[in-house]
Amino acid sequence: MKLNNKTLNKADIAITRWMASNGLFLLRMSIGIVFFWFGILKYFEGLSPAEGLAIKTISAITFNLVPDKIIIYGLATWEVLIGLGLIFKVFLRETLLLLYLQMIGTFFPLFLFPKEVFHVFPYSLTIEGQYIIKNIVLLSAGIVLGATVRGGRLDAGT
């Protein structure tokens, strides 16, 4: 069977409609799984690659007034709550607020500890720096999800 432009166009429309129908759900679930997973890891010492830098950053912004265990368990709980809120679509506005605040915090090391996040400033990142910069995607995903809390939808644009 030879495919022609009409057949390809129909397939493209069907795929685009499927993406529009399922994209927000998949985005919400995938971001929820990431937050839940990363949060759970922080409950177990040494399993989270972000543990050390997270503790160091939060210690710095709280003037070393909060013990390390409270920092890491607090952050773990925060991330798990974001994950559960997204996965189960409960308290979505509050969940997204927690996400936005957490995302802001993840960028602090870029300014507080540039030697730990850059091999060569400003373009060559360490693995920790890459871990931080990828949060731009999570933040953008949160913004897209936030656009839906008052009934916003994706449009297939057919």
pLDDT tens column, 108-152: 999 999 999 999 998 899 999 999 999 999 999 999 999 988 887
**Confidence at residue 155, expressed as pLDDT on a 0 to 100 scale:** 63
- The answer to whether residues 109 and 125 touch, using CB atoms and an 8 Å cutoff, is no
- The answer to whether residues 40 and 7 touch, using CB atoms and an 8 Å cutoff, is no
Residue 91's alpha-carbon distances to 42, 69, 111, 132, 149, in angstroms, are 23, 27, 32, 26, 10
pTM (2 decimals)?
0.90
The domain limits of the chain are 9-146
Residue 5: pLDDT band by 50, 70, 90 thresholds?
A: confident
